[in-house]
Amino acid sequence: MARRAARPAPALAAVGDTALTALAGCGPKVAEKLAARGLACLQDLWLQLPRQYEDRTRLTPIRALQPGVAAQVEGRVEAVERGFRYRPLLRVAVCDDSQGTLVLRFFHFRSAQVNQFQPGVRIRCYGTPRPGQNGLEIVHPSYRILDDAEGDALGDRLDPVYPAIEGIGPAALRRLIGLALDRLPEDGTLELLPPHVLASMQLPPLREALLTVHRPSRDADVAQLLEGRHPAQRRLVLEELLAHHLSLRRQRIAQQAHAAPVLHDDTLAARLRASLPFSLTGAQQRVFGEILADLAQPSPMLRLVQGDVGSGKTVVAALAAMLAVAHGRQAALMAPTELLAEQHLANLRGWLEPLGVQVAWLAGKVTGRARAKVLEAVASGQAQVVLGTHALMQEGVAFRDLALAIVDEQHRFGVHQRLALRDKGGGGEIGAGATVPHQLVMTATPIPRTLAMSAYADLDVSAIDELPPGRTPVQTVALSAERRPELVERIRAACAEGRQAYWVCTLIDDPEENDRPGATMRIEAQAAQTTFETLSAQLPGLRVGLVHGRMKAAEKQATMAAFKAGAIGLLVATTVIEVGVDVPNASLMIIENAERLGLAQLHQLRGRVGRGSAASSCVLLYRSPLSQLARQRLETMRETSDGFLIAERDLELRGPGELLGTRQTGLAGFRLADLARDADLLPQVHSIGERLLAESPTVADAIVARWVGGAVRYAGA
């Protein structure tokens, strides 16, 4: 495995690489279960960090318990009730000297367990109390029956809670980790970070940090530990973030070792540019310039173009594609939805066919003879620019000579998909030194700069940070759903002036239904259907259209075309229109249940209006009562239309996990780091990382191997 080979320090390799079967009580069976979770050697257990701590160093009087706050209590069993309501149930009432009563509730239990709970027996238990029918109760507490003679010593330090591992009980796991920690070597062989870095940041060395995190002393700052802000945790987070950063940087370096076709002929791009009905914005010109410089290199471009909705990314992509075509090669553009891919098709045909460029189209619904024909054109190279959805990546799609792979709305795709399209380049297996296409990815979901640095360390980032001229900012208001009737008037007025409107139906929560695959789309579709019928009845004389995800593609397409042509005044839609739909004459958008949507999605949706010169507005309809979070989101939407600012807010409000979606970043599963909490470390991560790569690449490799290890699966990508 690569991780063994990459590890340079021999002493560390000796201890940290020791197989877990060396630990007492870890036979082959247990080792196998640990290995299933990627835990193979001592070092893996050192880095198996607690998710939480339980404070059993003190007792809380039952009267002082607070709902939602975990605590340890001790008392006597007062009453036991065994019953059966829908399912077996055991309730144990416990009282203590504070004269409070706590109910312990069990749904799974054995009869031996029931017999333990005799009235009068002393019991100590730990758990999180919640309000129940008769005061506070704890469901499935961890507990211990106390021997009356027992000295009842309390714990002398916080108990670490480790992520559960199937087949190994928490106590056994804790014991194994303890044994592994007993073998932790001295700092000299363990430490990988430069001492001056730790000193300047006032962070402890690795050994001390690990011991503090696994075995916090009684006087450790509990609040800090529970929040993950203890210096020992910060120390580990720093190294973990560094490892991920370095691993992405390594992927990039590996990518750049491939060759790519040199594309420098920009005559066709110049012709396209001259034929456009508008001139490029300064930002578009700058970003296109950056792309031109990349394409002229013999190594593959890896560029992310961030640009707010409506900033004009498509035309920049089309210009880039013209370089491939000018060199007699192919370009592909992949979009996340059919709706968007179709819109690109219409745009690109309009722009490119007059220049004699052949545009082909491939989506799931292109089947049979039509599909065979497209595949043939793609394989022969007759199709110069190929547009499509995920269908582009399917088996059987082979390009003759793909020189540029463009992925639109990158946040909808994963790293793997991006690479899959790249691998359509032809020439079979991608080995070191093989020729691969250039890659351009575009996203309208801007992410804060600090995060971009970390999440996209394998990409160069350009920003189209300017909107085409003549756009007026969208006026946004939040309205309670009771005021819905006013909106009907508003739509009537807008349409009477020749403008058009969207009415977006979003899902109303129904957790049971939502669990089922496809249910979201169905419920959304139903809501849209109902709204469509109501609004059609309320707006006689206005042509109302409907699009949702469950309609036939041809129907959707016809409706979109009619809306684009102005034949439909009001379009009732589900969130399928979120991405990319471009109808400049639409100037009013109503979003139902806006309180349920995230900021990124609201911003995307709102981006469908304000694309023309008319003053546009967006109405966010909500149902009361609003949660604090929802209120803040709607407030943010009213205050700003700056995508970067919204992204920053989004990060604050809900953390980066969702914002980035691990699937798109490859930043899967941090052990300890939390990008929202730890974002302030990123600038340092970046600079330490660059220095290590330049000055001590073997140390850099060792850090990656330690934290990311076998997970570096794109290293050869």
Q: Are the C-beta atoms of 605 and 434 separated by less than 8 Å?
A: no
Cβ burial of 506 (10 Å; 0-12, 13-18, 19+) is buried
Residue 236, Cα to own-chain centre: how many angstroms?
22
Site string for ligand ADP, 391-430 (x = CB under 6 A): ----------------------------------------
Among the listed residues 26, 42, 180, 280, the single contact to ligand ADP using CB under 6 A: 280
Contact 620, 478 (CB under 8 A): yes
Pick the piece of the chain touching Mg ion (CB under 5 A) from 241-249, 383-391, 572-580, 684-692.
572-580
Beta strands in 298-443 (DSSP E): 302-307, 330-334, 359-362, 385-388, 402-407, 438-443
CB of 494 to ligand ADP, least distance (A): 20
Calpha distance 230→65 (Å, rounded): 26
- Assess 580 for contact with Mg ion (CB under 5 A): yes
What CA–CA distance (Å, rounded) separates 468 from 612?
Answer: 10
Q: How far is CA 21 from the centre of its chain?
A: 36
In angstroms, give the least distance from the CB of 662 to Mg ion: 24
CB 125 within 8 A of CB 143: yes
State in angstroms the smallest separation of the CB of 414 from Mg ion. Answer: 19
Contacted by 438, from Mg ion, ligand ADP, none: CB < 5 to 8 Å by type? none
Among 261, 312, 336, 388, binds ligand ADP (CB under 6 A): 312
Nearer Cβ to ligand ADP (141/312): 312
Residue 386 interface partner, choices ligand ADP, Mg ion, none, CB cut-off 5-8 Å depending on type: none
- Contact between 656 and Mg ion by CB under 5 A: the answer reads no
- If the CB atoms of residues 467 and 634 are measured against ligand ADP, the closer one turns out to be 467
Nearest in space to 360 (alpha carbons), one of 109, 689, 371, 496: 371
From candidates 247, 255, 284, 617, binder to ligand ADP by CB under 6 A: 284
Count the site residues for ligand ADP by CB under 6 A.
17
CB of 369 to ligand ADP, least distance (A): 32
- Cα dihedral sign for 238, 243, 248, 253? positive
* Residue 468 contact, options Mg ion, ligand ADP, none, Cβ 5-8 Å cut-off depending on partner type: ligand ADP
Give the residue with the Cβ less far from ligand ADP, 332 or 374.
332
Residue selected from 97, 119, 186, 278 as contacting ligand ADP according to rule CB under 6 A: 278
Compute the distance between CA of residue 671 and CA of residue 567 in angstroms, rounded to an integer: 54
Cβ-based nearer residue to ligand ADP, 101 or 314: 314
Beta carbon of residue 454, minimum distance to Mg ion (angstroms, whole number): 25
319: left (phi over 0), alpha (psi -120 to 50) or beta: alpha
Kindly indicate which of the ranges 73-81, 195-203, 308-316, 649-657 contains the residues binding ligand ADP, using the contact rule CB under 6 A: 308-316
Tell whether residue 100 is a contact of Mg ion (CB under 5 A).
no
Q: Whose CA is closest to 348, among 305, 383, 379?
A: 383
Stretch that binds ligand ADP, among 145-153, 235-243, 276-284, 384-392 (CB under 6 A): 276-284
**Residue 337 interacting partner from ligand ADP, Mg ion, none (CB closer than 5 to 8 Å by kind):** none
Bridge partner residues of 139 (DSSP): 105
Residue 170 as a binder of ligand ADP (CB under 6 A): the answer is: no
Contact of 519 with 548, CB cutoff 8 Å? no
| Binder of ligand ADP out of 50, 141, 310, 656 (CB under 6 A) | 310
Q: How far is the CB of 316 from Mg ion (least distance, A)?
A: 10
Is 689 one of the binding residues for Mg ion (CB under 5 A)? no
Residue 14: what residue type?
A: A
Please answer whether residues 466 and 329 qualify as being in contact, where contact means their C-beta atoms are separated by less than 8 angstroms.
no
Q: Quick check: 468 binds ligand ADP (CB under 6 A)?
A: yes
Residue 568 has, within 13 A of its CA and on its CB side, a CA count of 23
* Burial (CB count <10 Å: 0-12, 13-18, 19+), residue 619: buried
Does 313 contact ligand ADP by CB under 6 A? yes
Q: Which two tokens stand for residue 176?
A: 């194994």
The residue nearest ligand ADP at its CB is: 312
Alpha-helical runs (H) found in 202-357: 206-214, 222-227, 231-256, 267-275, 282-295, 313-326, 338-352
Strands 359-362 and 570-573: unpaired
Among the residue ranges 7-15, 19-27, 306-314, 560-568, the one whose residues contact ligand ADP (CB under 6 A):
306-314
The entry of Mg ion, ligand ADP, none near residue 608 (CB within 5 to 8 angstroms by kind) is none
* The one among 233, 311, 462, 593 contacting ligand ADP by CB under 6 A: 311
Q: 312's torsion region: left (phi>0), alpha (psi -120 to 50) or beta?
A: left
Task: Please say whether the beta carbons of 203 and 236 come within 8 A.
Answer: no
| Nearest distance in Å: CB 276, ligand ADP | 8
- The DSSP-derived string for 614-678 is S--EEEEEE-SSPPHHHHHHHHHHHH---HHHHHHHHHHHH-HHHHH-HHHHS----SS--HHHH
Say how many residues make up the chain: 717
- Binding characters for ligand ADP, 429-448, by CB under 6 A (x = yes): ---------------x----
**Window of 214-222, 313-321, 356-364, 658-666 that interacts with ligand ADP by CB under 6 A:** 313-321
DSSP structural state of residue 202:
T
Stretch that binds ligand ADP, among 17-25, 274-282, 631-639, 682-690 (CB under 6 A): 274-282
For the bound state, the minimum distance from the C-beta of residue 303 to Mg ion, rounded and expressed in Å, comes to 16
Query: Which of Mg ion, ligand ADP, none does residue 278 bind (CB under 5 to 8 Å by kind)?
Result: ligand ADP
- State the binding string over 553-592 for ligand ADP (x if CB under 6 A, else -): ---------------------------x-x----------
Give residues in contact with Mg ion (CB under 5 A). Answer: 580
Give residues in contact with ligand ADP (CB under 6 A). Answer: 278, 280-281, 284, 307, 309-315, 444, 468, 580, 582, 611
